[in-house]
């Protein structure tokens, strides 16, 4: 257990290198289960969630080697088994359920622990299961484990009732070793799904419509090992962009600006200065953030994973803004903590009304989940005085050395181990 101690109100200036995307790396690790051959993943972020997925892979007899000094992970699933049913380990991350599609498709059988509840919402897996059933899986549940069986998955037309990121990924992976053609309509279009498809194509999968809402997969009899470089993390980049807008001037290296469109648009609308420069982006505080309205949407809409951080920026903005959260039912956990720092935020159902205040002041706050924790870091950096953020293991799930990166640009942030 650790906490961050932040002395706020420091002017930040400098450049930050953005790490590989957590949300690409997790499904791509699961995709490596589709072949007996070795896969080599480059630009892997060193994060808690990645370490947990690594342990999950090892728990099903997959050989992995994570060379953290050069961000390379080697995965060889030649000896993999189909029972990913260690409830405690699997319950630690929701992405554990992404092993279902690959294991079922490769072995005709999979035993997967149900992912646990989550503080930001109930996060069911019905869309994953409905799609896998359409591909021919027989599904039962007992003792917290989903059992999936089939002789051989068969391609099918699948319509997703909602463009779920995880369901789209699970189904594309399952379809890549099925007999025949699968079409996933109303598929999620997040860039991380495009990255997964690129990796699968390198493994030999035949996939059309990558990055669109209709993905067609022609099943292959087998897939081979591949080498792949994970795309930059657009949410880490977005978080640092907001830190720049709130506290100084930050240049972010190694980003894909095309993935940052909704964040750039909203930052400019709010009055921040954003300059795109090849694979870098510079964000500057102009001293005047005008509050605006935001509605979270599936990609290319405004990402729910940036909503809490934008709320922190708006807490110190001018005027009133409304955030409408449409993806998760309980994603305003940061509001109480921000209000403890002096923010003026009210929630009403899926909306939050943010009235900008002149100053925030440091106090003790708690990271309730990953992105809420990131929001608290932004507010702590902008606030007067000292803020102590506890339960930072949530933040470390998804941000690679965030305290170190912040110190590099002039922030006064210390990580203190507790107990
Ligand atoms: C992924 C991201 C997460 C991001 C989210 C939405 C990873 C590892 N995580 O999560 O950071 O916040 O996308 O952009 O990539 N739903 C159902 N039934 C299902 C599946 C989902 O009702 O079977 C609902 C969920 O409860 C939620 C919404 O759909 O309300 C979005 O979930 P989904 O897109 O599946 O998110 P994840 O893949 O879990």
Return the residue whose CA atom lies nearest to atom 13 of ligand 1.
Answer: 165
Specify the pLDDT at position 189: 98
Residue 113 bridge partners (DSSP): 145
Specify the pLDDT at position 1: 79
Atom of ligand 1 nearest to the CA of 22: 8
Cα(414)–Cα(388) distance, integer angstroms: 10
| Separation of first and last alpha carbons in the chain | 7
Average pLDDT over residues 83-102: 96
pLDDT band at residue 251 using 50, 70 and 90 as cut-offs: very high
Specify the pLDDT at position 119: 74
Same fold for the pair 2-19+232-417 and 22-229: yes
The tens digit of pLDDT for each residue in 289-316 reads: 999 999 999 999 999 999 999 999 999 9
Specify the pLDDT at position 338: 98
**Across 50-203, where does the E strand assignment appear?**
63-67, 72-76, 83-84, 109-113, 138-142, 145-149, 157-159, 181-185
pLDDT band at residue 123 using 50, 70 and 90 as cut-offs: confident
Assigned token pair, 125: 């897996």
The tens digit of pLDDT for each residue in 187-217 reads: 999 999 999 999 999 999 999 999 999 999 9
Cα(251)–Cα(239) distance, integer angstroms: 12
Q: How far is the CA of 86 from the centre of ligand 1 (A)?
A: 22
Does residue 419 have a pLDDT over 90? no
Give the residue, out of 164, 169, 327, with the most ligand 1 atoms within 8 A of its beta carbon, to mutate for a pocket test: 164
Classify 36 as helix, strand or coil. Answer: coil
Average pLDDT over residues 350-377: 97
Residue 197 known to be catalytic: no
Classify 362 as helix, strand or coil. Answer: coil
Specify the pLDDT at position 122: 72
User: Is ligand 1 within 6 A of the CB of residue 125?
Assistant: yes
pLDDT band at residue 6 using 50, 70 and 90 as cut-offs: very high
- Specify the range with the lowest mean pLDDT, choosing from 116-125, 207-216, 241-250, 377-386: 116-125
User: Is ligand 1 within 6 A of the CB of residue 128?
Assistant: yes
Atom of ligand 1 nearest to the CA of 303: 14
User: Is ligand 1 within 6 A of the CB of residue 393?
Assistant: no
Atom of ligand 1 nearest to the CA of 327: 30
Tell me if 123 sits within 8 A of 114, measured CB to CB. no
User: Is ligand 1 within 6 A of the CB of residue 327?
Assistant: yes
Q: How far is the CA of 326 from the centre of ligand 1 (A)?
A: 12
The tens digit of pLDDT for each residue in 128-180 reads: 999 999 999 999 999 999 999 999 999 999 999 999 999 999 999 999 999 99
User: Is ligand 1 within 6 A of the CB of residue 371?
Assistant: no
User: Is ligand 1 within 6 A of the CB of residue 111?
Assistant: no
Domain boundaries of the chain, sorted by first residue: 2-19+232-417, 22-229
Assigned architecture for domain 22-229: Alpha-beta prism (3.65)
Give the residue, out of 193, 327, 369, with the most ligand 1 atoms within 8 A of its beta carbon, to mutate for a pocket test: 327
Specify the pLDDT at position 218: 98
The tens digit of pLDDT for each residue in 266-295 reads: 999 999 999 999 999 999 999 889 999 999
- Across all residues in the chain, what is the average pLDDT? 96
Residue with tokens 């051989």: 152
Structural fold of domain 2-19+232-417? UDP-n-acetylglucosamine1-carboxyvinyl-transferase; Chain (3.65.10)
The tens digit of pLDDT for each residue in 37-63 reads: 999 999 999 999 999 999 999 999 999
């Amino acid at each position: 257990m650790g906490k961050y101690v932040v002395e706020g109100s420091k002017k930040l200036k400098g450049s930050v290198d953005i790490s590989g995307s957590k949300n690409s790396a997790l499904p791509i690790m699961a995709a490596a289960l589709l072949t007996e051959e070795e896969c080599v993943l480059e630009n892997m972020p060193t994060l808690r969630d990645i370490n947990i997925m690594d342990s999950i892979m090892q728990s099903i007899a997959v050989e992995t080697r994570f060379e953290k000094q050069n961000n390379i992970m080697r995965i060889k699933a030649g000896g993999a088994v189909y029972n990913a049913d260690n409830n405690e380990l699997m319950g630690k991350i929701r992405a554990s359920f992404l092993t279902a599609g690959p294991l079922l498709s490769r072995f005709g059988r999979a035993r997967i622990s149900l992912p646990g509840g989550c503080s930001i919402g109930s996060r069911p897996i019905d869309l994953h299961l409905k799609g896998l059933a359409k591909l021919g899986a027989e599904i039962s549940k007992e003792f917290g484990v989903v059992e999936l069986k089939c002789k051989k998955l068969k391609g099918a037309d699948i319509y997703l009732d909602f463009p779920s990121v995880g369901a789209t990924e699970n189904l594309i992976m399952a379809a890549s070793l099925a007999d025949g053609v699968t079409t996933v309509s109303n598929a999620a279009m997040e860039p991380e799904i495009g990255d997964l498809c690129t990796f699968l194509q390198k493994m030999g999968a035949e996939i059309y419509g990558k990055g669109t809402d209709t993905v067609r997969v022609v099943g292959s009899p087998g897939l081979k090992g591949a080498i792949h470089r994970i795309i930059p993390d657009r949410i880490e980049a977005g978080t640092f962009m907001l830190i720049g807008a709130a506290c100084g001037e930050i240049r972010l290296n190694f980003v894909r600006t095309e993935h940052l469109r909704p964040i750039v648009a909203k930052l400019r609308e709010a009055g921040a200065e954003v300059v795109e420069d090849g694979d870098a982006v510079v964000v500057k505080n102009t001293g005047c953030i005008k509050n605006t309205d935001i509605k979270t949407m599936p990609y290319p809409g405004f990402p729910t994973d940036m909503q809490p951080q934008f709320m922190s920026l708006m807490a110190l903005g001018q005027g009133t803004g409304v955030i409408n959260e449409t993806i998760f039912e309980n994603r305003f956990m940061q509001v109480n903590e921000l209000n403890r720092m002096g923010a003026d935020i009210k929630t009403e159902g899926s909306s939050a009304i943010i009235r900008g205040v002149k100053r925030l002041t440091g106090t003790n706050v708690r990271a309730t989940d990953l992105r809420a924790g990131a929001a608290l870091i932004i507010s702590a950096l902008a606030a007067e005085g000292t803020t102590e953020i506890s339960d930072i293991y949530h933040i470390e799930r998804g941000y690679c050395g965030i305290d170190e990166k912040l110190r590099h640009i002039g922030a006064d942030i210390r990580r203190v181990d507790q107990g």
